[in-house]
Amino acid sequence: MPAWSSSWQLPDQIADVLPSEARHIEELRRLLLDTARSYGYELVMPPLMEHLESLLTGTGEALGLQTFKLVDQLSGRTLGLRADTTPQVARIDAHLLNRSGVARLCYCGPVLHTRADRPHATREPLQFGAEIYGHAGLEADLEAQMLALEGLRASGVTGLAVDMADVRIVNSLLAGATLDAAFLARIHAALAAKDASELDSLIAEPKSGISAAARAGLKALLQLYGDAGVLAEAEKVLPPLPGVREALQNLKWLASRTAAGGDVKVSFDLADLRGYAYYSGTRFAIYGQGAELARGGRYDEVGAVFGRNRPAAGFSLDLKELVSVLPPRPLKAAIRASWGEAEGLSAAIARLRASGETVACVLPGHEHEVNEFDCDRELAHVAGQWVVQPLKKAA
């Protein structure tokens, strides 16, 4: 390989998107945005980069490690390339819109990660998301789930399943304990990984201040995953703390409505606290086609750092990940026309394009090239008029 060819190589887990996949992504982007608009969501477009202190305010260490940093040549200040759009939308709701009632906002744009969040994933996801601000009731949590599910159904995803949890269960068990952020993160990681030995060693430390009842509850969480029976079991084995009981009742309410249509399987994993640090209540992950495709929940505290502590719920997904699990789209039907300056040809082509047709003009000498379109018709000059007729393809 010549030395100069290395300059063409892209960074690891960064890739070009070629025509067929790009068309599929763009079709899904439009479909998801239209679906969100049908629910009353308004499109916003936050910038790809911001001053670092604004971009990472209140998001926690995990998002900070995922964020690329660079120096602004104009101001000398440090900038960040966003790794998640939710905090930016919270800033828009808090400072730019400043509405007193409900605000429904959606977005779609690239984010960048210093490291991919799983093997073989891209470090440049195309993130679509929707957020609802200003309503503290479960109706907002349910709407976020319903919108995510409807968008995935419309995209062609089958075998939909929703897995739910609530961070308030763990927060209630740990209330009163003296834990710093790093130690708490280790507990969360042990719970998510179902690592009983690591969890035992952490919660047994006297300096943690975790009560005996709370330790028993945390250990019980490792087994509390599965179908609806999990909630009934949780009511038996977890301490009867107000926060725990409320969270279980909320999950029961959401699950009954999510599963009402009959095409969505609902499960629970009460130890799963994956996600950025700003989740404050129910959280959910949606699976389909054998992959996790969307993640969301309630994050009431996300706007507090911007001066407006508004209730908030929503979800996000990566369009590139979504396209990767769906069957490829068929080629788009098109009309083939010869290039030329014959009378009426340009006008005929213009009329067809204005009506929504794709018309590909064949340049001289390129009559047999294969491209992204399925030219199943041709524009032909018949009896003094330009007409569209079936294309006779070579055997």
Does this model's pTM top 0.75? My answer is yes
Cα radius of gyration (the chain): 26
φ, ψ (nearest 5 deg) of residue 379: -95, 115
pLDDT of residue 58: 67
**Quick check: 110 and 125 in contact, CB under 8 A?**
yes
**What is the distance, to the nearest Å, from the Cα of residue 282 to the centroid of all Cα atoms in its chain?**
16
Nearest 5°: the CA angle 355, 319, 8 is 95
Residues of the chain with pLDDT below 70 are 1-7, 58-61, 206-208, 275-277, 368-370, 393-395
Contacts of 6 (CB under 8 A, 6+ apart): none
φ, ψ (nearest 5 deg) of residue 375: -75, 95
**Quick check: 96 and 306 in contact, CB under 8 A?**
no
